[in-house]
Structure 1
């Protein structure tokens, strides 16, 4: 029995290089007898008038799997929706790094045959829930798979804020902002900011200061169940809260940003032989094994 029967395809239509593998993917899935639905913009690239088309992911589609053709940014955008619906997500890499997308177009059909037959692993990735409060009243919210970044927005001035973890005061800081990252996001913006790499299986959150006006401020790793509060200073007139580099919340001076782990995880599908460390070696340029004479040293 096939673990996946009803599959949705979503592509990053802004990438011209997705068209050819997307058409191949449609032909392959139809030939193998899968029920395929296309996101409306994706359908324009395929030019297939026989497959059903949808505008938004919802429960009525009764999907077993969503396949994204694109890069990590596309996976993040779709991932926030499928996590809520508890639909697993698989990525065909047409981006640059591809930490989340491990199906390669050159050997796509052979890799997919194994995955769709059940030869895969599931990696559960937790999301962050963000709420923005003003004078004790919640005024906005958001979600992030990679990270939440509090920053000065269009202003070139440093911002001021206070950090609280589990209602305990940690520090006040003047800096270019703060990155609050999941393990999934630890290889993204947080890594560029000097943060540590966290294995995806860790139940932890990393906080990375951005250019702090002190030499003693360093990244901090806290438990995944921690409640994080960032209270903005009264001079932060142009601050922004950016989720996954895609969605912005606009706070005002004195607002409070609360960040916590979302209970419903994102289920990523990977090939059975997928290795996080091998991905790091490939994507980050880590050194490969030494000669056989040095392996035991």
Structure 2
């Protein structure tokens, strides 16, 4: 459902920028001054060097008091900002200083006019579903995280293919041998999932897509699941009775799991990843003159003939 963004009386804006590029740093300084001239209090998000003239936030929890977060960078910077928010109901406006910019559709030259639109309550608030992922080890939760794009199980650099069992509501779906698996949200379906041959999901579709990475079988294909169910993924050395796959050497220390591009931990035989839709949504700002299909055509050249 379309909803108009209203910043209201929260005159507090946080900046997240790509620190290793001079254009992002310089633009952040200029934007901070521009916002201060309009009586907004400007903050630099935590885990970054504070921009001159802003207040550096020490903790991620402080972002909850912001009216808006502005990201200056690429999709990687946007995902880092989303991880900082961890489901807090604070919208993000993404400005592209990278290459693709699917999550950051605003061009640098459009920055100030677009921010002006946002401050005048002329932008749309777009909810995006997030993935909750838990790593269970010995029956206990070791990690409990949220992903905007995807969760990836990938083999280690020196390991063989890994065997993964997929369960839906405790029912065995499949056992695959592959380089890994991608579990993507609709937002993440245009990222690694798409590169691995998975389908594009419209953001309004309430689903996950599970896509094998270089599967050792012609019959291992992407699967779409409703997001109101629980998925479990197990790394296995001994396969389910009746499986057509051959047992590899022990999978101990063969794989990692990655959340929105950040390697979180090593996973071993017996560990489980539990996937659910998060109870929290992510919110992004969008120019009402644009739409999802406009982005597909502009960023991914969707429908273009070679």
Partner Cα separation in structure 2 for residue 60 and residue 171 of structure 1: 41
Deviation at 1:16, TM superposition (A): 2.3
Change beyond 3 A, Cα 1:212–1:146:
same
Deviation at 1:60, TM superposition (A): 7.7
Q: How does 1:13-92 map to 2 (within 5 A)?
A: 13-39=19-45, 44=50, 46-48=51-53, 51-59=54-62, 62-92=65-95
State which drifts further: 57-66 or 109-118. Answer: 57-66
Match of 1:255 among 258, 267, 271: 271
Does the Cα contact within 8 Å between 1:38 and 1:53 map onto a contact in 2?
A: yes
Deviations 1:179-229 (A, max 9, x none): 100001001000000000111111110000111111111101110112111
Q: How does 1:135-284 map to 2 (within 5 A)?
A: 135-234=138-237, 235-237=250-252, 238-284=254-300
Partner Cα separation in structure 1 for residue 229 and residue 193 of structure 2: 18
Deviation at 1:25, TM superposition (A): 1.0
Partner Cα separation in structure 2 for residue 7 and residue 251 of structure 1: 38
Partner Cα separation in structure 1 for residue 14 and residue 109 of structure 2: 21
Deviations 1:93-144 (A, max 9, x none): 1111111112221122112111221111111112111111233222333321
Does the Cα contact within 8 Å between 2:152 and 2:181 map onto a contact in 1?
A: yes
Partner Cα separation in structure 1 for residue 173 and residue 47 of structure 2: 46
Aligned residues: 286
Deviation at 1:286, TM superposition (A): 2.6
Match of 1:111 in 2: 114
Does the Cα contact within 8 Å between 2:46 and 2:60 map onto a contact in 1?
A: no
> Normalization by structure 2: what TM-score?
0.87
Change beyond 3 A, Cα 1:127–1:288:
same
Deviation at 1:83, TM superposition (A): 4.0
Which blocks of at least 5 consecutive residues in structure 2 are unaligned?
1-5, 238-249
In structure 2, the residue corresponding to 1:169 is in which secondary structure? strand
Bigger helix share = 1
RMSD: 2.0
Match of 2:136 in 1: 133
Does the Cα contact within 8 Å between 2:12 and 2:41 map onto a contact in 1?
A: yes
Deviation at 1:42, TM superposition (A): 5.2
Match of 1:9 in 2: 15
Deviation at 1:247, TM superposition (A): 3.4
Partner Cα separation in structure 2 for residue 188 and residue 142 of structure 1: 19
Change beyond 3 A, Cα 1:61–1:213:
closer
Does the Cα contact within 8 Å between 2:88 and 2:280 map onto a contact in 1?
A: no
Partner Cα separation in structure 2 for residue 65 and residue 42 of structure 1: 17
Deviation at 1:40, TM superposition (A): 6.0
Partner Cα separation in structure 1 for residue 128 and residue 279 of structure 2: 10
Match of 1:292 in 2: none
